[in-house]
């Protein structure tokens, strides 16, 4: 029985449907549903800012309130994307300023955000509430001053891991006295001192503040005053956690923490002095998330801290924790879901800590809910990986970074094919995988055969031939993002699986063996893909067809080739012959 | 006591406290446009009975003060919407016309739950909707959805 509801009823039904996938499904059901859906959509997520244009977005969705955009590919985090590549958000802001005067939320990741963009945001959106700049760059504290001064209803200002031209800490004073709406403030990436009195007053007059991540320059002695003004905090990032050992500072800290009954997440702890750590013990039983990746303290102190947190769900820590610390973690933190272990000395030649594959095996044995792992280490065995796989078939994200490329199983000297093969075979819900160590084409065969839910794969210094790439492109049905560096993959697998590339968000290949000719051919064969060659060695048109390109970034797009490319980026398409000559 | 008369002539005597849950009726009463017998032309007797049952239950339960009472009411609501699709849709239209917010929310949420997680084809089949896109139009929207907005 076909029912046609009045539009307002259909809109009311749709108001209970939120996920991107569901909203996209209802838009395709029939014409009237498409129309009601596009008028009632309030939030979108654009995983690749070049896959669509601001004009297409504003034309389709006239009433958005919340926009999320991602710019540079993930390997930009490892400095593989040259300066000036793109990802400038300004064209988006300019278009949205006209189309969405009621815009409330902007979440940007790996985009270039200038002060001009920030100023335009602050002037254009009267009800602007949320600004999250994750791993962004291009702006200074002047831009932040504009946001602070003009966004009267600001709830969230989160600068996580952005690179900010830190001219002075004075920008914070631009929050007017009438601003009482802050819920979340994350300035942990800033270098210079902010005005402490302005910060204290701001914190004191925002009763709904639940997240406060300070920067390193906020000294420990200032922390108790801040905490006393915000006992309702749920997430706290401290500044530097060091001072001369003074009992009155300690007891002030301890008292201040004691009154924060809602704290669940802690971070910061730069330069932490072990003597001051017990000041947080009283709240440890409530802690579910602990980020100690800046805490340069040794294993015994880490163990003392971690064993106080029985409800810990997420731990980010330096490898100072060592195998013994991870064993203690496994014994005490049975709710652990996510573990990230970062290297304290990534460029050192010799191991500086007693952290081996055993630490990860212990945690995989002891923590039944562990499903997300990022682990930097210097040695691994197939046996350890097989254990981890069998212990944790519920693993969804597994990123292993053996620091030295092409390191084999140190006991058998074999490649780690069997170990990673066990991971993909047993962990049937695996969505993200990063590989390292010595790996042959056989490993990729395992991935293609078993990793059916894998969405993102990162590969470096692995494989023997094109067959490796072919296994992945051919077998991984759910693959969305593939990033490859320094692998002997060339033209064959890429051209044979060209159609696959339209089913993925993007493919990145750098320092591989893909020829300029193959890139041109791919661009011609697949007009809906943007095949972008990144090559800083000079103009491409004089190159022989067989020459390998430095870097290749291929992504599907409904917006055609982008028009903001720098000199060193060229799009391969039907017209590329004309454009390059 | 107020009497409602449905589209097909059925009459229902209900308490004033229940009648005012139907905002449309409440406004009529406040404006003095309602006599002893209020006609409800857009709603059949079968559906009006269900609407009144819902309003009676919610007025009786009042503001569910404790967790147990609140859970009971939620369970009652969940049972209330276990009806065939045609009846559910008629209740939605009635709730919309009579401006009963909580009933409209409940029934629209129920329909939304029938939509979530389904493919477009499954949604069309569930609700008997004809696809009036051309294959090219549909393909274009799907591509834009998947490539740009997911």
Whether residue A498 is predicted with pLDDT greater than 50 in this model: the reply is yes
- Region A137-144: mean pLDDT is 97
Q: Tell me the two tokens of residue A197.
A: 């009195």
- Closest residue of chain B to A34, computed from CA coordinates: B141
Tell me whether residue A86 is exposed, middle or buried, using C-beta atoms within 10 angstroms of its C-beta: 0 to 12, 13 to 18, 19 or more: middle
Q: How would DSSP label each residue in A399-447?
A: EEEESSTT---TTT---SHHHHHHHHHH-TT--EEE--SS--HHHHHHH
User: Are B144 and A60 inside 8 Å of each other by CB?
Assistant: yes
User: Are A8 and B96 inside 8 Å of each other by CB?
Assistant: yes
- Closest residue of chain A to B141, computed from CA coordinates: A28
Give per-residue pLDDT as tens, A199-221.
999 999 999 999 999 999 999 99
User: For all residues of chain B together, what is the average pLDDT?
Assistant: 90
pLDDT attached to residue A374: 98
pLDDT attached to residue A247: 93
Q: What's the length of chain B? A: 150
Alpha carbon separation from A558 to A270, A327, A579 (Å, rounded)? 45, 50, 21
- Region A38-57: mean pLDDT is 97
pTM above 0.90, yes or no: yes
pLDDT attached to residue A576: 55
Q: Are strands A529-534 and A551-556 parallel, antiparallel or unpaired?
A: antiparallel
Q: Are strands A506-510 and A551-556 parallel, antiparallel or unpaired?
A: antiparallel
Residues 6+ apart with CB under 8 A from A323: A354, A355, A356, A358, A359, A362
User: Are A6 and B124 inside 8 Å of each other by CB?
Assistant: no
Residue among B105, B116, B127 whose CB faces A22 most closely: B116
Whether residue A397 is predicted with pLDDT greater than 90 in this model: the reply is yes
pLDDT attached to residue A201: 96
Angle between helices B85-98 and B45-61 in degrees, nearest 10: 70
- Chain A positions in Cβ-Cβ contact with residue B85 (cut-off 8 Å): 1
Query: Residue A451: which of A438, A433, A465 has the closest Cα?
Result: A433
User: Are B93 and A557 inside 8 Å of each other by CB?
Assistant: no
Distance CA A372, CA A370 (A): 6
- Region B23-43: mean pLDDT is 81
Q: What's the length of chain A? A: 581
- Closest residue of chain B to A11, computed from CA coordinates: B108
Whether residue A578 is predicted with pLDDT greater than 50 in this model: the reply is no
Give per-residue pLDDT as tens, A227-275.
999 999 999 999 999 999 899 999 999 999 999 999 999 999 999 999 9
SS3 content of chain B, % helix, strand, coil (to 5): 65, 10, 30
Distance CA A579, CA A533 (A): 14
Cβ(A561)–Cβ(A555) under 8 Å? no
Residues 6+ apart with CB under 8 A from B65: none
- Chain B positions in Cβ-Cβ contact with residue A33 (cut-off 8 Å): 129
Distance CA A26, CA A16 (A): 12
pLDDT bucket at B61, cuts 50 / 70 / 90? confident
Alpha carbon separation from B5 to A206, B48, B57, B104, B140 (Å, rounded)? 54, 9, 20, 21, 50
User: Are B108 and A16 inside 8 Å of each other by CB?
Assistant: yes
Looking at residue A6, the DSSP 8-state letter turns out to be -
Does any CB of chain A come closer than 8 Å to the CB of residue B129?
yes
- Closest residue of chain A to B149, computed from CA coordinates: A46
pLDDT attached to residue A49: 98
User: For all residues of chain A together, what is the average pLDDT?
Assistant: 95
Cβ(B17)–Cβ(B27) under 8 Å? no
Alpha carbon separation from A289 to A310, A339, B89 (Å, rounded)? 11, 10, 46
Cβ(A401)–Cβ(A436) under 8 Å? yes
Q: Are strands A432-434 and A481-485 parallel, antiparallel or unpaired?
A: unpaired
- Chain B positions in Cβ-Cβ contact with residue A26 (cut-off 8 Å): 115, 120, 123
Whether residue A561 is predicted with pLDDT greater than 50 in this model: the reply is yes
Nearest CA-CA distance, residue B1 and chain A, Å: 31
- Closest residue of chain A to B124, computed from CA coordinates: A29
Distance CA A429, CA A431 (A): 6
Give per-residue pLDDT as tens, A346-374.
998 889 999 999 999 999 999 999 999 99
Whether residue A1 is predicted with pLDDT greater than 90 in this model: the reply is no
- Region A68-92: mean pLDDT is 97
Looking at residue A576, the DSSP 8-state letter turns out to be H
Distance CA A134, CA A156 (A): 13
End-to-end Cα separation, chain B, in angstroms? 55
The alpha carbon dihedral of A150, A153, A155, A156 has a sign of negative
User: Are A52 and B133 inside 8 Å of each other by CB?
Assistant: no
Assess: ipTM above 0.95.
no
Does any CB of chain A come closer than 8 Å to the CB of residue B36?
no
User: Are A5 and B142 inside 8 Å of each other by CB?
Assistant: no
For residue A433, list its beta bridge partners.
A398, A457
Does any CB of chain A come closer than 8 Å to the CB of residue B115?
yes
Rg (C-alpha) for chain A, rounded Å, is 25
Does any CB of chain A come closer than 8 Å to the CB of residue B130?
yes
For residue A506, list its beta bridge partners.
A481, A555
Residue among B112, B138, B148 whose CB faces A28 most closely: B138
Residue among B92, B118, B119 whose CB faces A9 most closely: B92
H-only helix segments in A451-536:
466-475, 491-496, 516-525
Lowest-pLDDT range of A166-175, A438-447, A492-501: A166-175
Q: Which residue has the tokens 């702006």?
A: A139
Distance CA B55, CA B77 (A): 11
Q: Which residue has the tokens 């003060």?
A: B65
* C-beta atoms surrounding A451 within 10 Å: 27
Nearest CA-CA distance, residue A90 and chain B, Å: 19
- Closest residue of chain A to B107, computed from CA coordinates: A13
With pLDDT > 70 as the criterion, what percentage of chain A qualifies? 98
Q: Tell me the two tokens of residue A396.
A: 């969804």
Cβ(A244)–Cβ(A221) under 8 Å? no
Distance CA A20, CA B147 (A): 12
- Chain B positions in Cβ-Cβ contact with residue A43 (cut-off 8 Å): none
Cβ(A241)–Cβ(A268) under 8 Å? yes
Residues 6+ apart with CB under 8 A from B39: B4, B5
**Residues in B 75-104 with any Cβ partner in A closer than 8 A:** 85-86, 89, 92-93, 96, 104
Whether residue B64 is predicted with pLDDT greater than 90 in this model: the reply is no
Distance CA A370, CA A216 (A): 30
Nearest CA-CA distance, residue B24 and chain A, Å: 16
pLDDT attached to residue A574: 67
Lowest-pLDDT range of A128-132, A193-197, A333-337, A387-391: A193-197
pLDDT bucket at A2, cuts 50 / 70 / 90? very low
pLDDT bucket at B140, cuts 50 / 70 / 90? very high
CB pairs under 8 A between A and B: 103
Residue among B111, B130, B150 whose CB faces A30 most closely: B130
User: CA triplet A557, A559, A563: central angle to 5 degrees?
Assistant: 110
Whether residue A580 is predicted with pLDDT greater than 80 in this model: the reply is no
pLDDT attached to residue B34: 67
Nearest CA-CA distance, residue B124 and chain A, Å: 6
Residues 6+ apart with CB under 8 A from A280: A253, A257, A266, A305
Q: Tell me the two tokens of residue A413.
A: 């000297």
User: Are A30 and B86 inside 8 Å of each other by CB?
Assistant: no
Distance CA B141, CA A33 (A): 12
Nearest CA-CA distance, residue A8 and chain B, Å: 9
Query: Residue A311: which of A285, A292, A331, A283 has the closest Cα?
Result: A285
Looking at residue A532, the DSSP 8-state letter turns out to be E
User: Are B112 and A24 inside 8 Å of each other by CB?
Assistant: no
Residues 6+ apart with CB under 8 A from A111: A49, A69, A70, A71, A72, A87, A88, A89, A133, A136
Whether residue A518 is predicted with pLDDT greater than 60 in this model: the reply is yes
Torsion over CA of A91, A92, A95 and A100, rounded to 10 degrees?
-160
């Amino acid at each position: 029985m076909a029912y046609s509801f009045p539009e307002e009823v259909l809109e009311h039904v749709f108001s209970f449907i939120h996920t991107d996938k569901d909203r996209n499904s209802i838009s395709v059901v029939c014409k009237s549903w498409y129309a009601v859906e596009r008028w009632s959509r309030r939030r979108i997520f654009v995983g690749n800012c070049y896959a669509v244009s601001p004009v297409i977005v504003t034309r389709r969705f006239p009433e958005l309130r919340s926009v999320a955009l991602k710019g540079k590919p993930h390997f930009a985090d490892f400095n593989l994307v040259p300066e000036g590549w793109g990802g400038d958000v300004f064209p988006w802001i300019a278009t949205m300023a006209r189309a969405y005067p009621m815009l409330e939320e902007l979440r940007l990741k790996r985009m270039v955000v200038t002060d001009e963009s920030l100023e335009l945001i602050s002037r254009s959106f009267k009800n602007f509430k949320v600004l999250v700049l994750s791993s962004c760059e291009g702006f200074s504290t002047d831009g932040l001053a504009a946001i602070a001064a003009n966004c009267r209803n600001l709830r969230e200002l989160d600068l996580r891991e952005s690179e900010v031209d830190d001219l002075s800490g004075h920008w914070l004073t631009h929050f007017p006295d009438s601003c009482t709406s802050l819920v979340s403030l994350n300035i942990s990436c800033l270098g210079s001192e902010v005005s402490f009195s302005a910060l204290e007053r701001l914190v004191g007059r925002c009763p709904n503040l639940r997240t406060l991540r300070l920067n390193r320059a906020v000294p420990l002695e200032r922390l108790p005053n801040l905490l006393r003004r915000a006992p309702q905090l749920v997430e706290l990032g401290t500044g530097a956690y060091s001072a001369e050992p003074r009992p009155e500072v300690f007891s002030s800290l301890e008292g201040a923490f004691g009154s924060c009954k809602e704290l669940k997440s802690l971070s910061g702890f730069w330069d932490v002095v072990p003597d001051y750590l017990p000041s947080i013990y009283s709240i440890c039983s409530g802690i579910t998330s602990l980020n100690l990746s800046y805490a340069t303290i040794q294993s015994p102190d880490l163990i003392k801290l971690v064993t106080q947190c029985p409800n810990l769900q997420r731990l980010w820590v330096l490898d100072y924790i060592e195998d013994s610390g991870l064993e203690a973690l496994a014994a005490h933190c049975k709710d652990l879901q996510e573990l990230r272990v970062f290297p304290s000395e990534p460029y050192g030649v010799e191991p500086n800590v007693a952290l081996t594959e055993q630490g990860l095996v212990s945690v995989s044995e002891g923590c039944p809910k562990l499903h997300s792992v990022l682990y930097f280490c210097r040695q691994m065995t197939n046996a350890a990986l097989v254990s981890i796989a069998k212990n944790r078939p519920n693993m969804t994200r597994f990123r292993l970074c053996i620091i030295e490329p092409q390191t084999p199983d140190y006991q058998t000297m074999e490649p780690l094919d069997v170990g990673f093969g066990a991971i993909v075979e047993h962990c049937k819900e695996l969505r993200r995988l990063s590989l390292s160590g010595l790996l042959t084409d056989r490993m990729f065969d395992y991935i293609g055969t078993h990793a059916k839910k894998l969405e993102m794969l990162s590969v470096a210094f692995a494989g023997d031939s094109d067959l490796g790439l072919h296994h992945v492109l051919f077998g991984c049905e759910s693959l969305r993002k593939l990033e490859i560096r320094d692998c002997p993959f060339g033209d064959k697998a890429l051209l044979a699986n060209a159609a696959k590339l339209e089913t993925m968000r993007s493919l990145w290949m750098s320092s591989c063996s893909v020829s300029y000719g193959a890139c041109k051919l791919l661009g011609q064969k697949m007009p809906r893909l943007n095949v972008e060659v990144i090559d800083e060695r000079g103009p491409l048109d004089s190159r022989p067809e067989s020459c390998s390109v430095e870097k290749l970034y291929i992504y599907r797009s409904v917006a055609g080739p982008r028009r903001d490319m720098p000199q060193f980026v060229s799009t391969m398409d039907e017209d590329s012959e004309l454009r390059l000559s | 006591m107020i009497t409602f008369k449905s589209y097909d002539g059925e009459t229902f005597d209900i308490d004033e406290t229940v009648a005012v849950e139907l905002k449309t009726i409440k406004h009529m009463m406040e404006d003095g446009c309602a006599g002893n017998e209020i006609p409800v032309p857009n709603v059949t007797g079968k559906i009006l009975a269900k609407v009144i049952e819902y309003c009676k239950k919610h007025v009786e339960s009042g503001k569910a003060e404790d967790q147990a009472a609140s859970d009971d009411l939620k369970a009652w609501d969940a049972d209330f919407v276990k009806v065939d699709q045609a009846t559910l849709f008629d209740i939605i239209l009635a709730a919309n016309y009579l401006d009963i917010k909580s009933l409209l929310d409940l029934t629209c949420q129920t329909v939304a739950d029938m939509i979530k997680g389904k493919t477009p084809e499954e949604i069309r089949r569930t609700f008997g909707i004809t696809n009036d896109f051309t294959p090219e139009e549909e393909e274009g929207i799907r591509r834009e959805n998947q490539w740009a907005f997911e």
